[in-house]
């Protein structure tokens, strides 16, 4: 019918334009139609309409709600309006989206298109439809690799097989050159076979550049990638030209002015990132531990403002609490020593600086200025409380005899009045009109549900309003009362009236709290709240370190979103962007690149949709056994589903969201000649017979309780407690607490009273630990022992005192324990160095305490005595010793008991790392398989394996066979006393000089006379940062300072001019002026006038 109307001779002429008419029963609306597409049922899929505002709104409403009263046809002009001549009936059905636009003549128009158009149709506007088909099949969910020359034959073949079903289309040739729309009927499961058949039959041919025989020599994906990665890289580079190409372009020369030079790779990464900030708001630097992410991020921000010609700028540095001191005192000043750095420890510190800036007239910064703020300071707010009382609302209900009264008990929203409730389950049902609808089941909140604020109980399920308020003491009845005091205080400050200011502050301090509102916490404002409300656009840039710690929907994560919104540019850094799941980056992408997420069709609340698209979902359906023939009208009563996110990452996450927003940096790229990193295969130890009996007793007790709790909510709690106890109990059999079920009866599930061991008896795993320590100490290698059970929640679970006692029995061992309260987080790194320098060679601590930002250069050996359930924590803690500046071989040991949950945990961690490594840069064939979801989260996977009784793939023997020769040597030497063979200090010094980057130009330091004199000065302790301990040269100072000191001590000015840049030494060496003023205090020896004096601290 549509084609018949279009083919009329008079159709779409100046006096007979194409039109669409809407009949509502009471009125008629007409619009010019510039394009329209309908299927074989005359159902509209696409339309471009032009009219006045009110008419377009009517069409928009009717199409959205669905209507069968649309008529398309030829408009015939009358005196005041157009009437439709020959016409056809068109209907709209399903969900539509609309875009406001303009015609060529700048008249208002709307584009209406069905949501199905995005998923099932190709739309070619002013371009060849075969290219749209190619793009469609290359995108998810098909993901076919299609050469450009294959597009036309594939398009023609799909038309022939009816796999491409064109719609009836009309378009105004004054507005469009061409328009074609077709539905793709090719199924996802058939697409690969379809393309393979096209290749086999010769309809799609490869370019004739070889015989194809080479491909037969490739056995697996690894070999293919290694063989053809240069070709693929060249192809990708041609398709998407990088903003910065290190092989063709130089790094920013501005970086050469830094006090501490960047490594070449660091400089190029920072240059590329700075250029990226010129075209987009943010960039993520994902680098291995010790690749210099802090320096790269600082240089990126500085480089960007150098490119824009802005000398002064303000940057907010958002970092974990353990790194604030390091950032404020080291990271920034090492590169930009003249920068202003403010360490913000409390919100009032920032308020004071900001208010002073306002009073000074809001001046622009004259030099780089950094504000270092920790995660906890940024989000630190007052405690929240649930202020809503439990209500009993009386309602009336009419019956045949009388009016009955009944009551509804519960908590009610103060905004909408609805009863507060939580979602317990949901299911997607197909309605009669073809639309999908989520049907949810809810449960009313009880008092226990509102004990503390969580993501699930923070807002009303009906109106989404916040139902929590600050729990604080207050001195003022209202905000108006407070402003009276504030206005007086502000006026006194502005006038400089300090006596009045002190008097007002004193009166406020002694003012009693209002008895009507009391609480344990004081009122305080989160730093991010002040920034969000008062300091919009104050910061020119934001640096976020360890951004993976902000990946969840927590207060700290929300703070990141607020900061990114008010800062002009954002640079984020992390060592482990992925932890095995696609959901790991969902909120991070939303906070840093919201435009990308919106463009891809995601909402902030659509985490499940993201996981279904780019991750793996495990959905379990439960039903009551009844057949529901019309679920759309009856709802989903009796039907529940439980969804769970399991590991697995689609490669499309990288191509669609990370390729232009993330730069990956490997340590081996930055550190050309790294020391060897030995990951010793997990050492599994057999339990003693007594331990086996105790362990079996524990297993039987839990399994009996789990069997008895089937079908009750307690079964989940029992399973979690079972795996946690099964992991920890073998390491602490004497003191591990009994387990009681967390219910009203406090039922005893398992008792540890039956089995007790002699405290002086060393258990097998402890014995193996002693053997490792014995060897490491004999080689002069300080060691850290990682544990998980530190007694932070249950005192009896602390195994650190026991391990200290065990370790101290090793000859030569000096042991220390690092606890959360031993030293504040920013000072942990300095504390560790002090301990090692004082002779401590074994340190016991939790993995959580050192997982972020600490450089364990002084402890080249790490022993995981216990394993964490967090892959992020494990990966971060495992490489704290393998960092730039490390001169010793790095070793990492993992210990576990055989035939326990510890053995299964070790295998699960190895498998789960595959998915993370594939996305973080080091993809293996196993890792790519893991991306498809071969593994789940650690706790759940352990439960699944225990339930099924499956034996996990792999064994210690297989790991050992795959290990390097050096790993095997380390394993074989465990327990032996290794007498280290020491090289002379001169050789050690020369080897160190050879490891320095070429940018330092220190070849003169390899001269024999220079080396001899340098060693003498080092042994005399004249070179800060360099010492000789136990016949070993230890270098722990700033490299540039060491070179400067050694060169200064070793030469006169004549030699310096010959060997080094004279401008450097002109800063160090000054002519002595005999007319210097005399000062008080101790006088140093005078330098004769005309001689040279070294100004080392100038």
Q: What is the 3-state secondary structure (H, E, C) of 147-184?
A: CHHHHHHHHHHHHHCCCEEECEEEECCCCCCCEEEEEE
Lowest average pLDDT, out of 35-44, 596-605, 880-889, 1076-1085, goes to 1076-1085
Instruction: Using DSSP, state whether 1047 is helix, strand or coil.
Output: helix
Cβ pair 367, 312 in contact under 8 A: yes
Beta bridge partners of 914: none
H or E element that contains 877: helix 871-878
Cβ pair 21, 87 in contact under 8 A: yes
Q: Are both 889 and 1003 inside the same structural domain? A: no
CB neighbour list of residue 1089: distance below 8 Å, 6 or more residues apart: 1072, 1073, 1074
Counting beta carbons within 10 angstroms of the beta carbon of residue 530, is it exposed (0 to 12), middle (13 to 18) or buried (19 or more)?
Answer: middle
Please state the φ and ψ torsions of residue 731, each to the nearest 5 degrees. Answer: -90, -5
- Checking DSSP bridges between strand 96-102 and strand 44-50, what pairing results, if any? unpaired
- pTM of the complete model beyond 0.75: no
The answer to whether residue 788 is domain-embedded is yes
331-356: string of b/e by CB count within 10 Å (b at 16+)?
Answer: bbbbbbeebebbbbeebebbbeebee
Per DSSP, 412 falls in state B
Q: Are both 28 and 161 inside the same structural domain? A: yes
Q: Are both 1046 and 1026 inside the same structural domain? A: yes
Report H helices in 736-855: 764-778, 800-807, 828-837, 847-850
Q: Are both 49 and 167 inside the same structural domain? A: yes
Nearest one of 290, 6, 68, 244 to 878, comparing CA atoms:
290
Q: Are both 795 and 744 inside the same structural domain? A: no
360 pLDDT more than 80: yes
Report H helices in 278-394: 293-307, 324-326, 332-335, 347-359, 375-379
Instruction: Using DSSP, state whether 896 is helix, strand or coil.
Output: strand
Helix, strand, coil percentages in the chain from 3-state DSSP, rounded to 5:
40, 20, 40
Indicate the residue among 972, 1002, 1036 that finishes a domain.
Answer: 972
Q: Are both 283 and 413 inside the same structural domain? A: no
Cβ pair 866, 731 in contact under 8 A: yes
- Segment 351-358 long-range contacts (CB within 8 Å, at least 24 positions apart): 351/530, 354/530, 354/534, 354/535, 354/538
Query: Rg of the Cα trace of the chain?
Result: 36
Q: Are both 700 and 773 inside the same structural domain? A: no
Lowest average pLDDT, out of 252-261, 404-413, 581-590, 883-892, goes to 404-413
Q: Residue 805 to residues 760, 761, 813, 840, 912: CA-CA distances in angstroms?
A: 10, 11, 11, 14, 34
The answer to whether residue 702 is domain-embedded is yes
- Checking DSSP bridges between strand 739-740 and strand 748-750, what pairing results, if any? antiparallel
Q: Whole-angstrom distance between the N-terminal and C-terminal Cα of the chain?
A: 89
Instruction: Using DSSP, state whether 1008 is helix, strand or coil.
Output: helix
Please state the φ and ψ torsions of residue 979, each to the nearest 5 degrees. Answer: -85, 110
The answer to whether residue 607 is domain-embedded is no
The answer to whether residue 336 is domain-embedded is yes
Beta bridge partners of 74: 18
- Checking DSSP bridges between strand 168-171 and strand 28-38, what pairing results, if any? antiparallel
Lowest average pLDDT, out of 520-534, 719-733, 797-811, 946-960, goes to 946-960
* Average pLDDT score over the chain: 79
- State the pLDDT at residue 634: 34
The answer to whether residue 742 is domain-embedded is yes
CB neighbour list of residue 762: distance below 8 Å, 6 or more residues apart: 770, 806, 809
Q: Are both 462 and 555 inside the same structural domain? A: no
Please state the φ and ψ torsions of residue 976, each to the nearest 5 degrees. Answer: -90, 150
Q: Are both 402 and 531 inside the same structural domain? A: no
Q: Most confidently modeled of 71-80, 257-266, 740-749, 1044-1053? A: 257-266
CB neighbour list of residue 40: distance below 8 Å, 6 or more residues apart: 168
**Looking at residue 341, which CATH number applies to its domain?**
3.40.50.10810
- State the pLDDT at residue 299: 97
Beta bridge partners of 948: none
Q: Most confidently modeled of 239-248, 436-445, 914-923? A: 239-248
CB neighbour list of residue 351: distance below 8 Å, 6 or more residues apart: 530
In terms of pLDDT, which residue wins out, 457 or 662?
Answer: 662
Tokens of 933: 């979801």
Show the 3-state SS of 191-253.
HHHHHHHHHHCCCCCCCCCCCCHHHHHCCCHHHHHHHHHHHHHHHHHHHCCCCCCCCCCCCCH
Nearest one of 332, 336, 331, 329 to 311, comparing CA atoms:
336
Cα–Cα distance for residue pair 129/143, rounded to 1 Å: 18
Cα–Cα distance for residue pair 790/801, rounded to 1 Å: 9
Compute the average pLDDT of residues 247-261: 91
Q: Are both 309 and 395 inside the same structural domain? A: no
Q: Are both 889 and 993 inside the same structural domain? A: no
When divided into structural domains, the chain yields a total of: 7
Question: How do residues 192-219 score in pLDDT, each as one tens digit?
Answer: 899 999 998 989 987 776 666 766 666 6
Q: Residue 174 to residues 105, 179, 561, 890: CA-CA distances in angstroms?
A: 10, 12, 45, 71
Report H helices in 686-812: 689-708, 714-728, 764-778, 800-807
Cα–Cα distance for residue pair 226/151, rounded to 1 Å: 29
Nearest one of 742, 749, 732, 750 to 788, comparing CA atoms:
732
The answer to whether residue 596 is domain-embedded is no
- Checking DSSP bridges between strand 861-864 and strand 783-787, what pairing results, if any? parallel
Instruction: Using DSSP, state whether 423 is helix, strand or coil.
Output: strand
Q: CA geometry: angle at 298 spanning 294 and 299, to 5°?
A: 115
Q: CA geometry: angle at 1071 spanning 1070 and 1077, to 5°?
A: 100
pLDDT interval class at 281 (50, 70, 90):
very high
Question: How do residues 427-477 score in pLDDT, each as one tens digit?
Answer: 655 555 545 566 777 888 877 777 666 767 777 877 777 777 666 666 666
Q: What percent of the chain has pLDDT over 90?
A: 30
Tokens of 718: 């029992």
Tokens of 706: 């789990």
Cβ pair 386, 468 in contact under 8 A: yes
Cα–Cα distance for residue pair 133/141, rounded to 1 Å: 14
- State the pLDDT at residue 2: 74
Lowest average pLDDT, out of 553-557, 999-1003, 1020-1024, goes to 999-1003
* Cis check: omega of the bond before 318, within 30 degrees of 0: no
- State the pLDDT at residue 1001: 75
- State the pLDDT at residue 852: 67
Q: Are both 319 and 450 inside the same structural domain? A: no
504: domain range? 479-510
- Checking DSSP bridges between strand 96-102 and strand 121-125, what pairing results, if any? unpaired
Cα–Cα distance for residue pair 885/1039, rounded to 1 Å: 9
CB neighbour list of residue 197: distance below 8 Å, 6 or more residues apart: none
706 pLDDT more than 70: yes
Compute the average pLDDT of residues 60-78: 89
The answer to whether residue 25 is domain-embedded is yes
pLDDT interval class at 526 (50, 70, 90):
confident
Lowest average pLDDT, out of 467-481, 645-659, 690-704, goes to 467-481
1071 pLDDT more than 60: no
The answer to whether residue 807 is domain-embedded is yes
Indicate the residue among 710, 735, 760 that finishes a domain.
Answer: 760
């Amino acid at each position: 019918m549509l084609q018949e109307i279009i083919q009329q001779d008079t159709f779409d002429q100046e006096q007979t334009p194409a039109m669409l008419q809407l009949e509502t029963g009471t009125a008629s609306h007409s619009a010019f139609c510039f394009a329209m597409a309908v299927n074989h049922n005359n159902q509209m899929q696409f339309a471009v309409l032009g009219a006045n505002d009110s008419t377009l709104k009517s069409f928009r409403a009717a199409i959205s709600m669905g209507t069968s009263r649309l008529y398309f046809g030829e408009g015939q002009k009358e005196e005041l309006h157009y009437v439709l001549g020959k016409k056809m009936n068109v209907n709209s059905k399903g969900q539509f989206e609309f875009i406001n636009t303009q015609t060529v003549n700048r008249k208002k128009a709307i584009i209406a298109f069905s949501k199905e158009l995005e998923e099932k149709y190709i739309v070619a506007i002013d371009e060849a439809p075969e290219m749209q088909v190619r793009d469609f099949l290359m995108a998810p969910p098909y993901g076919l690799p299609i050469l450009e020359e294959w597009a036309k034959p594939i398009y023609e073949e799909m038309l022939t097989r009816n796999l491409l079903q064109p719609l009836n289309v009309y378009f105004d040739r004054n507005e469009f050159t061409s328009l074609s729309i077709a539905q793709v009927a090719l199924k996802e499961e058939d697409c690969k076979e379809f393309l393979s058949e096209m290749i086999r039959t010769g309809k799609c041919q490869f370019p004739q550049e070889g015989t194809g025989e080479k491909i037969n020599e490739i056995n697996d994906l690894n070999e293919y990638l290694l063989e053809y990665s240069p070709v693929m890289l060249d192809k990708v580079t041609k398709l998407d030209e990088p903003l910065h190409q290190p092989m063709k372009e130089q790094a920013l020369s501005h970086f050469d002015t830094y006090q501490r030079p960047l490594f070449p790779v660091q400089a190029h990464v920072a240059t590329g990132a700075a250029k990226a900030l010129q075209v987009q708001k943010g960039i993520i630097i994902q680098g291995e531990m010790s690749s210099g992410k802090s320096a790269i991020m600082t240089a990126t921000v500085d480089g960007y403002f150098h490119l824009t010609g802005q000398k002064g700028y303000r940057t907010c540095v958002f970092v974990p609490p353990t790194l604030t001191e390091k950032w404020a005192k080291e990271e920034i000043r090492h590169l930009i020593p003249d920068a202003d750095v403010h360490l913000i420890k409390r919100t009032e510190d920032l308020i004071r600086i900001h208010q002073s800036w306002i009073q000074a007239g809001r001046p622009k910064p004259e030099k780089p200025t950094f504000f270092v703020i920790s995660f906890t300071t940024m989000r630190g707010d007052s405690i929240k409380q649930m202020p809503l009382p439990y209500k009993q609302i009386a309602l009336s209900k009419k019956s045949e005899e009388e009016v009955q009264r009944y009551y509804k008990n519960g908590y009610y929203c103060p905004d909408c009045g609805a009863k507060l409730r939580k979602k317990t389950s949901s299911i997607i049902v197909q309605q009669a009109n073809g639309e999908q609808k989520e049907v949810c089941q809810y449960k009313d909140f009880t008092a226990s549900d509102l004990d503390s604020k969580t993501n699930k109980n923070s807002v009303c399920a009906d109106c989404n309003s916040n139902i929590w308020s600050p729990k604080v003491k207050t001195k003022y009845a209202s905000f108006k009362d407070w402003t009276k005091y504030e206005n007086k205080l502000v006026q006194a400050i502005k006038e400089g009236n300090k006596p009045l200011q002190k008097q007002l502050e004193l009166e406020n301090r002694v003012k009693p709290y209002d008895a009507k509102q009391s609480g344990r916490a004081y009122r305080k404002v989160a730093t991010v709240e002040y920034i969000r409300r008062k300091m919009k656009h104050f910061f020119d840039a934001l640096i976020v370190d360890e951004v993976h710690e902000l990946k969840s929907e927590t207060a700290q994560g929300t703070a990141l979103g607020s900061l990114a919104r008010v800062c002009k540019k954002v640079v984020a850094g992390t060592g482990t962007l992925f932890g095995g799941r696609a959901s790991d980056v969902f909120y991070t992408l939303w906070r840093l690149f919201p435009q990308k997420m919106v463009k891809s069709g995601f909402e902030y609340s659509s985490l499940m949709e993201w996981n279904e698209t780019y991750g793996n979902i495990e959905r379990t359906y439960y039903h009551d056994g009844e057949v529901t023939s019309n679920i759309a009208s009856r709802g989903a009563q009796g039907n529940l589903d439980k969804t769970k996110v399991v590991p697995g990452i689609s490669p499309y996450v990288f191509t669609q969201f990370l390729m232009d927003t993330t730069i990956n940096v490997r340590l081996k790229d930055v550190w050309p000649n790294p020391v060897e990193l030995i990951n010793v295969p997990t050492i599994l130890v057999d339990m003693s017979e007594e331990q086996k009996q105790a362990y079996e007793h524990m297993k039987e007790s839990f399994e009996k309780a789990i069997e008895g709790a089937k079908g009750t909510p307690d079964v989940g709690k029992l399973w979690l407690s079972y795996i946690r106890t099964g992991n920890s109990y073998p390491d602490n059999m004497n003191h591990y607490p009994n387990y009681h079920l967390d219910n009203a009866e406090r039922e005893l599930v398992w008792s540890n009273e039956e089995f007790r061991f002699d405290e002086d008896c060393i258990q097998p795993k402890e014995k193996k630990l002693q053997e490792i320590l014995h060897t490491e100490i004999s080689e002069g290698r300080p060691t850290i022992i990682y544990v998980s059970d530190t007694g932070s929640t249950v005192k009896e679970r602390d195994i650190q005192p026991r391990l200290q006692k065990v370790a101290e029995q090793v000859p030569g061992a000096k042991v220390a324990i690092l606890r959360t309260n031993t030293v504040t987080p920013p000072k942990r790194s300095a504390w560790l160095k002090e301990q090692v320098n004082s002779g401590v060679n074994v340190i016991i601590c939790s993995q959580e305490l050192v997982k972020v930002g600490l450089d364990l250069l002084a402890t080249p050996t790490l022993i995981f005595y216990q394993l964490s359930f967090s892959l992020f924590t494990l990966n971060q803690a495992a490489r704290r010793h393998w960092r730039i500046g490390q001169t010793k071989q790095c070793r990492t040991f993992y210990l576990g008991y055989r035939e326990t949950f510890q053995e299964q945990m070790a295998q699960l961690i190895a498998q789960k790392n595959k998915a993370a490594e594939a996305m973080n840069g080091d993809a293996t064939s196993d890792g790519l398989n893991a991306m498809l979801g071969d593994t789940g989260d650690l706790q759940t996977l352990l439960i699944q394996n225990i339930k099924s009784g499956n034996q996990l793939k792999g064994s210690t023997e297989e790991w050992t066979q795959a290990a390097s020769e050096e790993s095997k040597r380390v394993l074989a030497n465990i327990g032996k006393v290794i007498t280290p063979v020491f090289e002379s200090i001169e050789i050690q010094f020369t080897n160190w000089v050879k490891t320095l980057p070429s940018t330092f130009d220190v070849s003169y330091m390899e001269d024999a006379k220079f080396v001899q004199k340098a060693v003498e000065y080092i042994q005399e302790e004249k070179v800060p940062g360099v010492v000789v301990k136990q016949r070993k040269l230890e270098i722990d100072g700033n490299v540039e300072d060491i070179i400067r000191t050694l060169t200064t001590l070793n030469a006169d000015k004549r030699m310096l001019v010959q060997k080094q840049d004279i401008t450097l030494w002109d800063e160090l060496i000054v002519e002595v002026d005999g007319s210097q003023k005399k000062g008080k205090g101790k006088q140093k020896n005078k330098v004769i006038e005309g001689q040279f004096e070294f100004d080392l601290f100038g």
